[in-house]
Amino acid sequence: MLPLDYSAALNAAATSSASSDPELIAVRDHLIRLDPNGERFSLVLRDTIDQLLNGEVTGRYDWGTLLKTEKTHAGSLVEINLQREFKFADGEAMDYRIAGIQVDCKFSQRFGSWMIPPEAIGHLCLVVWADDLKSQWQAGLIRIQEEILNQKSNRDRKLTIKAEHRNKIYWVTPDGRLPENVLLHMPAADRDAVLAQKSGQARVNELFRRVQQRRITRNVVRTAAQQKDYMKRVRGNGGARSSLRRHGILIMGDYRKHQRVAADLQVPVPREGEFVSVRVTRVQKDQDARPRAYLDGAWWAVAEDQDPAEPAPMLPKTRNSDA
């Protein structure tokens, strides 16, 4: 659930503050033009969290396992990665210049824990939070005034926004969904079974065997493989795609032809950098009402528990011959 001390929708206080602040409106409109659905923002946050976890090297998948210094560094990385993605100009007094206006950027993994420096008073602040466990994030704008800040500060003299004034935040993205960290959210027994495998290839195979009909990002695969050539562990010619095909499991990637197969089967369609696995069974076109896809000269549907295992068909060829 979302935090209880604010409304996800724009409330009266936030709307009132925005209506009397033309700079806030200008920055808001610019951000919405750049990212109307929040998809780019969401991917930046997902990639930043994965960058900190560095699963390929460390095998970590849980924010809670980060070192204190790494968590402290998260704010700087979010600021940097957002600027790279949206090409914000450098600010003078603040981090950015957006629509010609000075804007500071503050990130926290916990809602309300943004640390505001004294020099931000009088300026706009882009406040961002993301929680990997809840798969949620938000980004909003607020004009920093002395009266909205708690007076107790940390050793760097940074302040926090009083709880009763958080309703003045104008949420540009009021209810963002963070791409799922599958290793974090899968049942513990399944996760343990994946991570217990001794080789990177075996871990990737087990991941796609146990996590079906859910989007799996490349970073999750990278963490499971813990190898630089992690994509090779997914593809055919000895990867998971060929190993699991004999058990009736398809692994679809972000190729258009694969996306069409997923859509025909009515399973989640893999987006850029994602995979979706599913066990299929051969069906007769006029004798089975299940959604189906035509592959390798036959009709196939998502297998149910009672359907016997049989080799899956080949997926349509893509530019990569081993895809």
pLDDT in tens, 293-310: 999 999 999 999 999 999
pLDDT, position 18: 67
**Residue 8's pLDDT is what?**
43
d(CA 167, CA 26): 20
Q: Is 73 in contact with 81 (CB distance < 8 Å)?
A: no
Cα distances (Å, whole numbers) of residue 39 to 145, 185, 317: 30, 21, 29
**Would the CA dihedral through 240, 182, 271, 258 be positive or negative?**
positive
d(CA 310, CA 63): 39
Q: What pLDDT, on a 0 to 100 scale, did the predictor assign at position 12?
A: 61
pTM of the model: 0.86
> pLDDT-based confidence at 227, cuts 50/70/90?
confident
Who contacts 71 (Cβ-Cβ below 8 Å, separation ≥6)? 52, 63, 109
Q: How far is CA 231 from CA 179, 190, 200, in A?
A: 19, 22, 11
